[in-house]
Amino acid sequence: MKYNMNLNNDVFNLIKAGTKTIEMRLNDEKRQLLKENDLIEFTNRTTLEVILTKVVRLYKFPSFSELYKHFDKVSLGYDKNDVANPEDMGKYYSKEEQDKYGVIGIEVRVIDSQK
C-alpha cells in the first residue's frame, strides 16, 4: 500500500538526506493502517518536492516520552548538539490525542527522490 504524508521543509530534508530515519506521528486511524514494506510518499510543504520511502519497521508506544527513550536523537531528526525533548511533539499533537491513540515511530528508508 502507498500513503501520502506532508512534512515541513527541515524535516523533509533530514529524511531525504537519510539522517532522520524515524518519523514520529500520532497512531491515529490513518497510521494504524500502516504495515512494514508499505510505501510513504512524503511531500515537502514548502517546495512540493516529493520523496518515496519504504516502511522498514513500526514502533508503537503510549507516549512520545517512551518513544524518545528507544532512539538516538539524530534518528529522530535532532542535530547531535540539540536537546531532544518529547514535549516538542506537543506543538503537533495534544496530550489528549496522545493519550487516546498512542504514538508511532515509523522507520523509513528513502527509495527515490524527485523534484
78/39 Cα distance (integer angstroms): 24
Contact 4, 31 (CB under 8 A): no
109/33 Cα distance (integer angstroms): 18
pLDDT tens for 12-51 read 999 999 999 999 999 999 999 999 999 999 999 999 999 9
Q: Which residues form the domain of 57?
A: 2-114
Q: Among candidates 90, 78, 104, 114, which has minimal Cα distance to 23?
A: 104
Average of per-residue pLDDT across 68-97: 94
| Domain CATH number, residue 55 | 2.30.130.30
Average of per-residue pLDDT across 56-68: 96
Please count the structural domains in the chain: 1
